[in-house]
Chain A
Amino acid sequence: MLIAILLGFIFSLFLVITGKFFKGKFSILAAGVPLALFIYFTQFISRISNGEVITQFHSWIPAFGVNLGFTLDGLSLLFSLMITGIGFLVFVYTSAYLKGHKYLDRFYGYLSMFMAAMLGLVLSDNLISLFVFWELTSITSFFLIGFNNTSRESRKSALIALAITGIGGLSLLVGALFLGSITGTYSIAEMLTMNPEIASNPYYILIVLLIFGAAFTKSAQFPFHFWLPGAMKAPTPVSTYLHSATMVKAGIYLLMRLTPVLGDHEFWNTTLIIVGAVTMVYSAIHTLFRTDLKGVLAYSTISALGILVFLIGQGTVEALTAAAVFVIVHALYKATLFLVTGIIDHQTGTRDTTVLRGLRKVLLPVAIAGFLAALSSAGIPPTIGFIGKELTYESTFHFGNMAILLMGLIVITKILLLYAGFVAGIKPFTGVLPERFENTKMPSFLMWLPPVLLALGCIVFGIFPGLIEGSLVKPMVSSMGLDGKEIHLKLFHGFNIILLLSVITIAAGTVLYFMIEPTKKRENWVAKFEKISPQTVITNSWTNFIKFSNGWTNLFQNGYLRNYVSTIMIFLIALTGYSLFSKANFAVDFNSFSPITVYEAATSVVMLIAIGYTVFTRSRLAAVASMGIIGYAICILFVIYSAPDLAMTQFSIDTLTVILFVLVLYKLPKYLKLSDYKMRIRDGILSLAFGTIITLLILEVLAEPKSSEVSDYYAANAYILAHGKNVVNVILVDFRGSDTMIEISVLAIAAIGVFALLKLRLKKSDQR
């Protein structure tokens, strides 16, 4: 399973060298990757439907309990199939949609990295590795939204999406750490049995809020929803794949996955129902005011995500079954509608609903796909959308308190979503074909076949719900910790109040569709409320935050190195001094010190002379040279106290530092302006105080009883475990090798920084 997840990453690396090949005629071959994965995952359907759960385990950082544990159960199987199946269609579609694009290889690279990250997310059993994949999806989404990187708007939308989902990611990490410390494990499978303990923990509310923070930002719930309409700047295949079918459902996935761990608690249920309800109604109303097809679809996607959160909040078997079915329903019809929109945009050059008419005459197969998807979106039988809607109504109807209010909200949402589906899937194809679109050509079959296939899925699964009942829906519900045996999906439920409500929904929605035409006027009217929208509020507070941090940074980092040094020293003196004098007792036993030898005394004298010379000399070069002498004297002390490794390193570092100083000083003007008396006295006092504090600190540390457990361990095990006799080096390359790894990365970053800073300035002066 690890290879299956990594395949996308490997393929994108492979693209670095074979990009040319996949950019040209053979771009369709890239679709082989998701297809292979799709076939791989379909093999598991029968095993999963028999109630089996397939797990795989690779240790990663066992010391922290972070492992690559993968679980394939009903929930992850459905998502994996969606990711790879829709992924395959999107890959095929892209090969025609972006045919001949300069960066098609790059696009495939991002897309397959995203696919891999998303698979990792839904298959991870370990919360920390789930977090890593979660962030990877945010990052790849950033690159895909900003794919048209020459457009300012795209870049801005990409940044907003990254910021919002990134904050959510951090919230997930903190939540995961809390859960880990309460339960003592990061494995979700092991947490399943601990629901009562977690729910009674005093931090329960905080944990739930953190997890909600992650899920609501990722799945675009109110008031974090606004990044999603912005993300529509991405090429349509991306909108289809990431921002409707898969990535935005990651939040839904997280909520479903953690339902057995955190759910069944009043706070969990109520919050989800309220947030879901607000989101679904708010954004469903928004669809009335959009004229851009992708805008309509974006808001209807947010609304659908709201419905899912609303259903998860109810938490009953009926509700979760409805959610499971609705995930499938929504993926099928919304992906179709997005792909259809992409074709319209690609062939006619516009997505404006106010001008698009009668395209059925030129794009018949696309029109059929759009029509079927709109039916499924509206919940008209015999599509699977109808089953999804019936289940949603039924579970809400049976949900004890406030059922009438909730029922009203969901019916309104469904009516508006029907309108949105019709506007996107039917409106562009009906009516009289305007002259300007008469020459519209049919796109390549690679483009129209994917939406047609998906649309057929809407119908086939609707007529034969048995196809998904046992294989996908039941295992999915049971992996959410509930008994799914009683579930039975069927198209016709008998004449009852639910059916009546369905009829009302369809009738009211259709009437609405014929009464209200999307117009620019209404879009402009709603734009007036932009000032109080969550987007404005959040982006404004964001701008103010940046202003504040700019001011704060300028206060402390004013570009004068001497001020930095003084600030650091003052704070260190104040803080260390405070705790030193309030806690330490300064019981220094001078008798325990070894007697001073001639070598030590001589070295110290050299050092003192060098210090005096550094302070009082009038030449910069001389000051640097005598600083070097101080450094060498310290090295000699290291040698005397038998720390040869340290001495060697310090010798080389000191040599290089002096060279560096000389190189920099060479650039400075010849005559140096010396600071005046007052400043010198101030600096002198500061450095004396600093030196005193550090000396006192070291004396105090020596007086404390020391624990040598760690160094003893290293000394005892260096040869046994790491085959080395030099303990210092063994610590560096083996025991704490990860630290060294990070340190050398930091070094490299610093070098790149120096290089960039200096070279950039050189170029500017060249221009002048």
Chain B
Amino acid sequence: MDANWIAIAASIVLQSSPLIIAVCGETLSERAGVVNLSLDGSLLLSAMAGFAAAYVSNSLLLGFLAGAGVGALMALVVAFGSLALRQSQVAVGFVLTLLGDSLSAFLGQNFTRLPGIWVPRLPIPWLKDIPVLGPIVFNQDLVVYFALVLTLASTWWIFHSRPGLALRSAGERPEAAFARGVAVRKLRYAYAVLGGALVGVAGAAYSLDVKIGWAEGHTRGLGWIALAIVIFGGWSPLRGALGVLLFVATRSVISVVLQRSLGESSVVVLNALPWLLMLLVLLVVSGRLGGQLLARLPAPLQRPLRGLMQAAPPAALGAELKEG
């Protein structure tokens, strides 16, 4: 691989990292049965809070903590509204999406387009010298490493650990889990808040690392993309992370190709691309289109491919919790 492609691949990995963190967070929350629809507003508000806190205190750590705190708080409101007050998660999440957006615009008005601090590059000795993989994955910064470790750790946690079993049962069959002594409500609160905190870290990662700085609408739209990728990933952090990489890679490759062939007018296609991809991917993953495509393939391929392509959400996702 020549150096140019390696540089592109490394930039794709960096660009993907915040989105991967957000997808892992939302996956944890939804696996426990709480849809945090406020993602787009949470990302905006935590990106703003993270930038402002780091700018004022000159400390990256405080920036990320502020982002995590904001994200956790937003998730707590969604969880409280649905678990304690039995309101619709969608309604509360939607209102918070808009509120987060306008709050970030108002509170961030004096922090717009200022030169801030950013996460420094931190190559890992030895590992960075592995051919191809080294410069792409291990010559990055802490945000990228965090995304990598988080993906692996949360996948293991959800599917291979004992607490993960309780987590999945809270999202799949909460009544049965409750009968077996799982504290469903507490679990849902905990994972929703943890997931929200991760979304907040992702927001701060945008304004302090990937898209350095703050301006109104800095990350607008990315939260919705993350929500769609959680579905695409079949509620698995690993598959979600691959989905993010695929999404970001497709966008960068097509943008390179388009700019060579179309020039100016490519902007329209480029802007439309994420949303067209989102529709296409959801049609294939959760829609009939995917099933029809599969049915045309030779029979031995169908089963494994169906497992890869299509996924069902946790059975009790967003449903009201009834317990003793």
A-B complex is real: no
User: Which residues of B are in contact with A by a Cβ distance under 8 Å?
Assistant: none
